[in-house]
Structure 1
Amino acid sequence: MNESANWKMSTLGGLNLTESVKMKAANTTSPGVPTPPSLRTPRTGFGICRRGMLGRILVVDDNTDLVTTLREVLEPHGFVVINATKGQDALRIAETDGFDVAIVDVKLPDTSGVDIIQPLRRASPASEVVLVTGFASVDAAIAALRSGAFAFILKSFRPEELLSTIQQAITKVRLMRDREELERRYRALVELTDVLVIGLDETGHVALFNRRAAALAEIASEEAYGRDFVDTWIPEEDRARLRESLSQAHRGERLREVETSFVEPNRRVRWQLLPARDSEEKRHHFVYLIGIDVTERRALEKRAADAEALSAMGTLALNLAHEIRNPLNAAVLQLHLMGRDIDKLEADYERRAAMHRRVEIVGSEINRLNRLLTEFLELARPRGIGREPVHIGSLVDDVLELERESAERRGIRIERQIVADGCGVAIGDREKLKQVIINLVVNSIEAMKGGGTLTARVKCGDSNVVLEIVDTGPGIDPELVDNVFDPFFTTKEGGTGLGLSIVRKIIDQHGGDVSITSEKGQGTQVRVRVPSGR
């Protein structure tokens, strides 16, 4: 009896195959044959496709009787059966249309079924292959399974045996595809989220570096893989603390959030460390770092604290200004009278000159106190601003002309790079914006004690006017740059420390922003942006 006849004579619960197929076609369940459940989610493309279809079965066999019989068994259960008589034909079908499960005869006209297991799975990923043959040994079965076959079935086999094997293979395929879909969604979420997601192995080297982290580090994600995360992107002052937190995570200890700098000292990131435990070894070989960039939040908190301090100073200033100015005015008047009395003294010229110098020193200090009080009141007084078109370039020209002699005395050359058209018009308070320019220009001139170049630029952005004042002075220490806008902070002898605080307050009132960049020994640049009138 040939294989086809042997197959057709197989029985199922006392019924021959033909009767079993008829019962299935009539939706009558035979004893011992489970009805495969429908899949929860219809799929498109390779594999499980249309609604109501349980799966695509690729039968690779040149025995037409056997193929016909397999169709009669599988199609009533919702499977779509596709046939290929040769190995090469099967590979073409797998590459173009795909399949869910392939039933492959070991002996094919052009190749061995064992040899095409891996090519079939590469052509149609997340699929399974079931080998069938009428003549096989234990060694052949082991070889087939090692080659990646899901199962090895000997002819002749009963229909329920085949259906059970196919159903198990379909279930595995579905689970693999569900996992791939979840991984795809997970990766999409990791890449699209606005938080930093970084994965580190047990040695602290990068295994995951999402798009947000790559953008802040200014590097492609692929270039980050394999690098030591702490040594590469964490500034030195925070490395020991983060390494200790990572060690705790690997030990499975309960962790708090840790905040460090990232890439550069001024960028602050708050990290949540999530260890991934190896269920078998019960160790945490992998740690996820979920980071939130809190740089702007810290800046806002600092500015809020400054605003609170300024508010308190404003109340104090308004209450004490009158009391302070009265004795200052009296002191100035007495100094004037004292100067006249010195000229009346019967003393030699040198003695009178020395007394005049002392009077001048006291007068200079009183004037400095008066100037400090004026700036203090200007910073603290909650006065509104005007709203009118102001040509920033014209204001810069006026201020530079005003300070020209002072710059020349110090050996400072002034360069102007100012737009001539109307795009340099801002909406704001003319006098306050002029005060901003005066403070910035005077600061730059006073910084260049040995001479240098002061460059004033006015240019237009998309919706704002940009003013830049650049000097070639000694610059500012990097650790001090963040403090220059704080009230009473100064790096100049005799400075009040209120000039840049006033600048920032005025620019904040205009809805703009001000920033400063400086390098020790290379000079300083202050950049101001205010909304334009366009």
Structure 2
Amino acid sequence: MAARVLLLDDNLDLAENVKDVLERSPELAGSEGGKVEIVVAHDAQSGLEIARGRPFDVAIVDVRLPDAYGIDLIAPLRAVMAHGEVVLLTGNATVESAISALRAGAAGFVLKSFRPEELVSTVQQALQKVRLLREREKYERRYDALMNATEVLILGLDVDGDVVFFNAKLAALLGATDVDARGKAFAEQWIDGADRKRFIAMFRDAVAGTATKEFEVGMRDGTGAVRRVLWRLSSVTEDDPRVPDHVYGIGVDATERRALERRAANAEAMNAMAPLAMGLAHEIRNPLNAAVLELHLLGRGIDRIEDAKVRGPMRRRVEIVVGEVRRLERLLTEFLELARPRPPQREPVDLDRVVSDVLDLEDGATSSSKVRVTRDLAPRSTVLGDLEKLKQVVLNLVVNAVDAMPQGGDLTARVERIGDEVVLTLTDSGGGIDPRILAEVFDPFFTTKPAGTGLGLAIVRKIVEQHAGSVVLSADQAKGTTTVTVTIPFALDVRPLSKAPPPVI
């Protein structure tokens, strides 16, 4: 492609001479042999208008035009010419004027008493600079596209551990832009405290030129949750191999992989415990039932005591024991549900009605805990599933939310249809769960409650997954809220499931 040159000179003869030299020059011809294109303007205003209307590679400008000085046109011309260069044409060059021109951004200058080869050489150098700048921009675009298209995390640090750049994938994970992060200490800002020393040690090894192995650390994402990331660091040195320039890191988010590994281990453990659980359930339930029966008979006997001072304390003690036995029964039921869950029934269930019924059931608990309940339940939010199991999901979530607000607060329940899914969200104002434990809250036996079993959320996830759905827990510590989002496919066909016909005898 032939180059385009804008010539600004009020001397018509000189302008024609320059144009003739450049058009005849084989050195300036395009790769396909085309002549360089020269466009002439005789004053600054018309020259700027032409430059704004079409692209040029080089502008050759007389230092003295009728309406401006050439040196004052360098900046506005370069502003409208993408990677374009400006060459000044002068009749009397001095060292001072040359320095001023270069400082103003000129690519060079040519005396009006030029020899043709000098003019061609100066313009050729300016064009070469333009081509190199455009080539660099092209490779930078490709580099940025590659950096931002990849699924891995890419990081660049200086030798002090401060951020130089990172790609869009890492920016999304950290909840920070590349520009905002520059200059910040990466380890201090984003590496979890428990792994910070390890990351810094591996970084120092990379700075020293030691090849580092892949290592795993926890990183705080944009929500404050800790994600597990596998990193490999390496240094890139300058001409002096002893002076590292940057340390580059390639990372892979292993959070989901670790979560799947943990769930697989939990499932394996539960499967191994299932026969034991079934046997224990039989052995434990029988004495529990006997204890409940005896407590019932004891209660009836206490009711016959005439002395109220004696009867009242004894009745309260019996109620406490009954409550603890019932709690043990619920724990046993939850454990069995997790260890060997029964397949869910399949029938149309209005999830909005399930939520409403559970909230009505828990009205006493929410009122006594001074929890204000807000309902936003879209009608006919129908899913195909097991009514009792879905009630258990909602009940577990509501109980957790109320327990998180011992001093009272707000609980918002929302059910809505979004596309082909029904979405239930429960948000409480209990201060917000610690984001660092979000990855573990659904694990069996994980709990933050002093008397908790750690089975409630594990059962919730198990039941939701049986319904081909998903459950996600998120926290906003700034607002002091925790939100659980349950998503289940919408039941497109809500006709009752037909029962199998009776066998023909």
TM-score by length of 1: 0.68
Structure-to-structure mapping, 1:341-352, within 5 angstroms: none
Q: Which residue of 2 aligns with 1:390?
A: 349
- Report deviation, 1:80: 1.4
Larger RCO, structures 1/2 (Cα 8 Å, 6+ apart) = 2
- Structure 1 unaligned spans of 5+: 1-50, 341-352
**AA at the equivalent of 1:179:** R
Q: Which stretch shows the higher mean deviation, 101-110 or 169-178?
A: 101-110
Alpha-carbon distance in structure 2 between the residues aligned to 1:282 and 1:224: 27
Find 1:62's aligned residue among 12, 22, 25.
12
**AA at the equivalent of 1:395:** V
Q: Which residue of 1 aligns with 2:487?
A: 529
Q: Which residue of 2 aligns with 1:285?
A: 245
For residues 82-139 of structure 1, give each alpha carbon's deviation from its aligned partner in whole angstroms, at most 9, with x where no partner exists.
Answer: 2234455544443433432344556766666666556544543433445566766777
Change (3 A) 1:66 1:379: same
Q: Which residue of 1 aligns with 2:278?
A: 321
Secondary structure in 2 aligned to 1:422?
coil
Find 1:436's aligned residue among 385, 390, 393.
393
- Report deviation, 1:233: 3.7
Change (3 A) 1:461 1:140: same
- Report deviation, 1:73: 1.9
State whether residues 457 and 468 of structure 1, in contact with CA within 8 Å, keep that contact through their aligned partners in structure 2: yes
| Greater radius of gyration (CA) | 1
Q: Which residue of 2 aligns with 1:462?
A: 418
Q: Which residue of 1 aligns with 2:270?
A: 310
State whether residues 62 and 86 of structure 1, in contact with CA within 8 Å, keep that contact through their aligned partners in structure 2: no
For residues 374-405 of structure 1, give each alpha carbon's deviation from its aligned partner in whole angstroms, at most 9, with x where no partner exists.
Answer: 43332222543233221223333444555566
- Structure 2 unaligned spans of 5+: 30-34, 298-310, 493-505
Structure-to-structure mapping, 1:363-402, within 5 angstroms: 371-381=330-340, 383-400=342-359, 402=361
Q: Which residue of 2 aligns with 1:23?
A: none
Alpha-carbon distance in structure 2 between the residues aligned to 1:234 and 1:512: 32
Structure-to-structure mapping, 1:416-495, within 5 angstroms: 417-419=374-376, 422-442=379-399, 452=408, 455=411, 457-463=413-419, 464-468=421-425, 482-490=439-447
Q: Which residue of 1 aligns with 2:455?
A: 498
Secondary structure in 1 aligned to 2:39?
strand
Secondary structure in 1 aligned to 2:344?
coil
**AA at the equivalent of 1:532:** F
Q: Which residue of 2 aligns with 1:179?
A: 136
State whether residues 485 and 501 of structure 1, in contact with CA within 8 Å, keep that contact through their aligned partners in structure 2: yes
1:260 matches 2:221? no
State whether residues 371 and 402 of structure 2, in contact with CA within 8 Å, keep that contact through their aligned partners in structure 1: no
Q: Which residue of 2 aligns with 1:300?
A: 260
State whether residues 218 and 226 of structure 2, in contact with CA within 8 Å, keep that contact through their aligned partners in structure 1: no
1:124 matches 2:81? yes
**AA at the equivalent of 2:129:** K
**AA at the equivalent of 2:334:** E
State whether residues 332 and 363 of structure 1, in contact with CA within 8 Å, keep that contact through their aligned partners in structure 2: no
**AA at the equivalent of 2:5:** R
Q: Which residue of 2 aligns with 1:73?
A: 24
State whether residues 163 and 185 of structure 2, in contact with CA within 8 Å, keep that contact through their aligned partners in structure 1: yes
Structure-to-structure mapping, 1:159-198, within 5 angstroms: 159=116, 162-191=119-148, 195-198=152-155
Alpha-carbon distance in structure 1 between the residues aligned to 2:459 and 2:45: 80
Alpha-carbon distance in structure 2 between the residues aligned to 1:167 and 1:197: 39
**AA at the equivalent of 1:376:** F
Alpha-carbon distance in structure 2 between the residues aligned to 1:142 and 1:357: 98
1:241 matches 2:192? no
Q: Which stretch shows the higher mean deviation, 108-117 or 221-230?
A: 108-117
Alpha-carbon distance in structure 2 between the residues aligned to 1:85 and 1:499: 83
Change (3 A) 1:182 1:400: closer
Alpha-carbon distance in structure 1 between the residues aligned to 2:94 and 2:376: 89
Change (3 A) 1:73 1:153: farther
Change (3 A) 1:416 1:251: same
- Report deviation, 1:517: 5.7
Change (3 A) 1:429 1:234: same
For residues 178-201 of structure 1, give each alpha carbon's deviation from its aligned partner in whole angstroms, at most 9, with x where no partner exists.
Answer: 112222333344456555544444
Alpha-carbon distance in structure 1 between the residues aligned to 2:45 and 2:403: 84
State whether residues 377 and 414 of structure 2, in contact with CA within 8 Å, keep that contact through their aligned partners in structure 1: no
**AA at the equivalent of 1:457:** A
Q: Which stretch shows the higher mean deviation, 421-430 or 267-276?
A: 267-276
**AA at the equivalent of 2:379:** G
Structure-to-structure mapping, 1:199-210, within 5 angstroms: 199-208=156-165, 210=167
- Report deviation, 1:66: 1.9
State whether residues 453 and 472 of structure 1, in contact with CA within 8 Å, keep that contact through their aligned partners in structure 2: yes
Change (3 A) 1:118 1:398: closer
State whether residues 101 and 169 of structure 1, in contact with CA within 8 Å, keep that contact through their aligned partners in structure 2: yes
For residues 21-80 of structure 1, give each alpha carbon's deviation from its aligned partner in whole angstroms, at most 9, with x where no partner exists.
Answer: xxxxxxxxxxxxxxxxxxxxxxxxxxxxxx4x2443636453255246426624894211
- Report deviation, 1:507: 0.8
**AA at the equivalent of 2:270:** L
Alpha-carbon distance in structure 1 between the residues aligned to 2:159 and 2:153: 19
Change (3 A) 1:476 1:151: closer
**AA at the equivalent of 1:185:** R
Secondary structure in 2 aligned to 1:389?
strand
Alpha-carbon distance in structure 2 between the residues aligned to 1:455 and 1:489: 23
**AA at the equivalent of 1:299:** A
Structure-to-structure mapping, 1:208-247, within 5 angstroms: 208=165, 210-219=167-176, 221-247=178-204
- Report deviation, 1:505: 0.3
Instruction: Report the RMSD for the aligned CA atoms in angstroms.
Output: 5.0
Change (3 A) 1:120 1:311: same
- Report deviation, 1:506: 0.2
Alpha-carbon distance in structure 1 between the residues aligned to 2:100 and 2:67: 19
What is the percentage of aligned positions where both structures have the same residue?
43
**AA at the equivalent of 2:24:** V
State whether residues 161 and 186 of structure 2, in contact with CA within 8 Å, keep that contact through their aligned partners in structure 1: yes
Alpha-carbon distance in structure 1 between the residues aligned to 2:288 and 2:71: 107
State whether residues 383 and 491 of structure 2, in contact with CA within 8 Å, keep that contact through their aligned partners in structure 1: yes
- Report deviation, 1:447: 7.1
State whether residues 197 and 291 of structure 1, in contact with CA within 8 Å, keep that contact through their aligned partners in structure 2: yes
Alpha-carbon distance in structure 1 between the residues aligned to 2:453 and 2:19: 97
Alpha-carbon distance in structure 2 between the residues aligned to 1:371 and 1:250: 57
**AA at the equivalent of 2:264:** A
Alpha-carbon distance in structure 2 between the residues aligned to 1:425 and 1:128: 67
For residues 214-252 of structure 1, give each alpha carbon's deviation from its aligned partner in whole angstroms, at most 9, with x where no partner exists.
Answer: 444445554444444443444444433333333333333
Q: Which residue of 1 aligns with 2:58?
A: 101
